[in-house]
């Protein structure tokens, strides 16, 4: 059997079987199958091989597994299929993109946290989109400002409201056919959004899922199948992100809107802080790079500079 690990907890892996590998079920049956229903999930142990060769199954992994008890829906993961990608923070395999969610209002958007997240994803080579939720609670002017702040970054930005349904079709299109790691601080509407995005099955996630989700969402990532082929990774909410594994000199690379202007910097390796004839600062002065992005760059740069070297 083939399937996808949707969650790993304390040595157990919950595997959603690929309907196409399920005893010759046809295309139509595959489409009809709702993979996250608890009835269709297998609780698996991993075979000892993984411990020996040092690989550990991750949520998001496509695997081959053996059914050890069909009745109890138990199995054993035999093989991890080749990974397209693996995120380290959060630890998830086969993610196509990340979506960072903030509320446009209540709680007020924390753009510093947003930029930390975006930098971390750039560092890991994952493309990002931005969602400002609770549009119904925010002033037009605030939304325009948020949108302006990220225009030059190239990140897709969507404004949504679970309340009015605004922006949801656009968000769906962004997620369609891909595996998206969703992140954001708590209270911004992540759970509400994920629930409304599911094709009317949010209330059918089933016993195991319902019980364990409540208990574990804060510490474990979990894949949710929105539609066949479209997955959302609900990741633990965060309130602070520290940058790891980068030098201050690299930081500028993780602000994609800087690249266009760096050729205009007089000095190669320009940090875009106090150097004369800096293309990035020129773009900032003309409003082609947003002030909040640049300020967050300065803050992160200072943080990396002050970090104790070990
Ligand atoms: N007005 C408004 N409230 C929302 C919206 N989305 C979520 N909420 C509310 O915000 C609160 C937090 O939502 P929740 O989904 O639990 O956020 P999470 O912590 O990010 O998962 C709940 O009371 C939701 O009903 C929205 O678009 N508009
Ligand atoms: Mg939540
Ligand atoms: Zn410069």
Same domain, residue pair 48 and 149: no
Same domain, residue pair 229 and 280: no
- SS3 track for 254-267: HCHHHCCCHHHCCC
pLDDT for position 31: 41
Same domain, residue pair 72 and 107: no
Same domain, residue pair 6 and 120: no
Same domain, residue pair 94 and 76: no
pLDDT for position 254: 98
| 282 found inside a domain | yes
Residue 140 domain boundaries: 90-234
Same domain, residue pair 107 and 195: yes
Same domain, residue pair 72 and 135: no
* CATH number for 175: 3.40.50.300
Closest ligand 1 atom to residue 184 Cα is: 20
**Separation of CA 172 and ligand 1 centre (Å):** 18
Per-residue pLDDT of the chain (310 residues; tens, 9 = 90+): 999 999 998 889 999 998 776 544 334 334 444 444 444 799 999 887 677 777 889 999 999 999 999 889 999 999 999 999 988 888 999 999 999 999 999 999 999 999 999 999 999 999 999 999 999 999 999 999 999 999 999 999 999 999 999 999 999 999 999 999 999 998 999 989 999 998 654 433 333 333 334 433 446 789 999 988 999 999 877 778 889 899 999 999 999 999 999 999 999 999 999 999 999 999 999 999 999 999 999 999 999 999 866 5
Same domain, residue pair 94 and 230: yes
- How many structural domains comprise the chain? 3
Helix H segments across the chain?
Answer: 27-32, 49-53, 111-123, 140-151, 168-175, 190-197, 206-216, 279-285, 291-306
Atom 2 of ligand 1 has which residue's CA nearest to it? Answer: 134
Q: Rounded to the nearest 5°, which phi and psi values hold at 254?
A: -95, 5
> Is 88 a pocket residue for ligand 1 (Cβ < 6 Å)?
no
Q: List Cβ<8 Å contacts ≥24 apart for 263-271.
A: 271/301
> Is 163 a pocket residue for ligand 1 (Cβ < 6 Å)?
yes
| 240 found inside a domain | no
| 39 found inside a domain | yes
**Cα(221)–Cα(194) distance, integer angstroms:** 14
**Separation of CA 218 and ligand 2 centre (Å):** 8
pLDDT for position 105: 98
Structure tokens at 96: 């196509």
**Cα(284)–Cα(209) distance, integer angstroms:** 48
Closest ligand 1 atom to residue 186 Cα is: 19
pLDDT for position 308: 67
**Separation of CA 152 and ligand 1 centre (Å):** 28
Given 48, 80, 112, the domain boundary residue is: 80
**Cα(293)–Cα(264) distance, integer angstroms:** 19
* CATH number for 278: 1.10.40.50
**Cα(63)–Cα(59) distance, integer angstroms:** 10
């Amino acid at each position: 059997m083939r399937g996808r690990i949707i969650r790993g907890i304390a040595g157990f892996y919950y595997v959603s079987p690929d309907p196409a590998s399920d005893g010759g079920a046809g295309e139509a049956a595959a489409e009809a199958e709702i993979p996250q229903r608890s009835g269709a999930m297998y609780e698996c142990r991993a075979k000892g091989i993984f411990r020996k060769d040092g690989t550990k199954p991750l949520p998001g992994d496509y695997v081959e597994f053996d059914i050890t008890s069909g009745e109890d829906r138990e199995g054993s993961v035999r093989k991890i299929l080749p990974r397209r990608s693996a995120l380290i923070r959060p630890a998830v395999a086969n993610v196509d993109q990340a979506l960072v969610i903030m509320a446009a209002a209540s709680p007020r958007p924390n753009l510093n946290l947003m930029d930390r997240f975006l930098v971390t994803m750039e560092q890991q080579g994952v493309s990002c989109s931005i969602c400002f939720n609770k549009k119904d609670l925010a002033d037009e002017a605030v939304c325009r400002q948020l949108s302006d702040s990220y225009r030059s970054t190239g990140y897709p930005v969507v404004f949504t409201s679970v309340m009015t349904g605004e922006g949801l079709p656009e968000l769906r299109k962004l997620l369609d056919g891909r595996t998206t790691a969703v992140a954001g601080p708590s209270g911004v509407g992540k759970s509400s959004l994920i629930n409304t995005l599911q094709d009317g099955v949010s209330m059918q996630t089933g016993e195991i899922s319902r019980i364990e989700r409540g208990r574990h969402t804060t510490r474990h990532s979990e894949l949710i199948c929105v539609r066949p082929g479209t997955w959302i990774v609900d990741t633990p909410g965060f309130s602070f992100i520290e940058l790891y594994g980068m030098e201050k000199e690299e930081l500028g690379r993780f602000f994609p809107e800087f690249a266009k202007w760096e050729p205009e910097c007089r000095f190669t390796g320009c940090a875009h802080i106090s150097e004369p004839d800096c293309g990035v600062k020129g773009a900032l002065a003309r409003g082609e790079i947003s002030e909040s992005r640049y300020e967050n760059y300065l803050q992160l740069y200072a943080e990396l500079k002050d970090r104790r070297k070990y």
